[in-house]
Amino acid sequence: MPEPYAPPVQRQPFEDARPHRMSRMVIMADSDAAAHFVQDIAAGDPAPWKWTNQKPTVKVVPRTNLQLRYVIDFSLPEVTFKVTGPVTLSFLVNDHVLESVRYKAPGEYHYEKAVPAEWVVPLKDTLVAAAIDKVWVSPTDGARLGFILTRIGLTQ
């Protein structure tokens, strides 16, 4: 029989550590979401959603370029939609337009579509974006609001 021994010392993980998660999906409620923002996403503490401007863009690092899907969850609020009317969103990966879709009503939306493998280089920064053709401009302070973003990124 082997000699008995004490178990190894137990250590607490780092508070924001995600050792098994490669950053491919940016969820606005995550504590590290702002580290992936490139442009046009409201700053501030993590929240379930964020206001965007014209072309919200995030940076992710996918492990592979095979069988990737662009995914975004967003809302077109009635308060801004009353002014802008129907809007067209273009969904982009590394500045390649995946598709442009016209939205004729306010509401919550989910968009998902396959990404061509040649648009992405594995383990390299990849820019994932959505561009809206019309933004709402505040008459009081000039703030520009596009849509409400919940999550955006690439899945497999």
Query: Per-residue pLDDT for 13 more than 80?
Result: no
> Considering the chain, what is the average pLDDT of its residues?
91
10 is a domain residue = no
Res 26: pLDDT: 94
pLDDT at residue 1, rounded to an integer: 78
pLDDT at 44: 87
Residue 22 pLDDT greater than 60, yes or no:
no
Q: Identify the domain containing residue 57 by its residue range.
A: 25-155
Residue at 114 is within a domain: yes
Residue 32 has pLDDT above 70, yes or no: yes
Torsion angles phi and psi, residue 76, rounded to 5: -110, 100
CATH number, domain of 51, equals 2.60.120.260
Count of the separate structural domains present in the chain: 1
User: What's the pLDDT tens digit per position in 97-123?
Assistant: 999 999 999 999 999 999 999 999 999
Q: Which of 138, 131, 152 is nearest to 50 (CA)?
A: 152
The length of the chain is 156
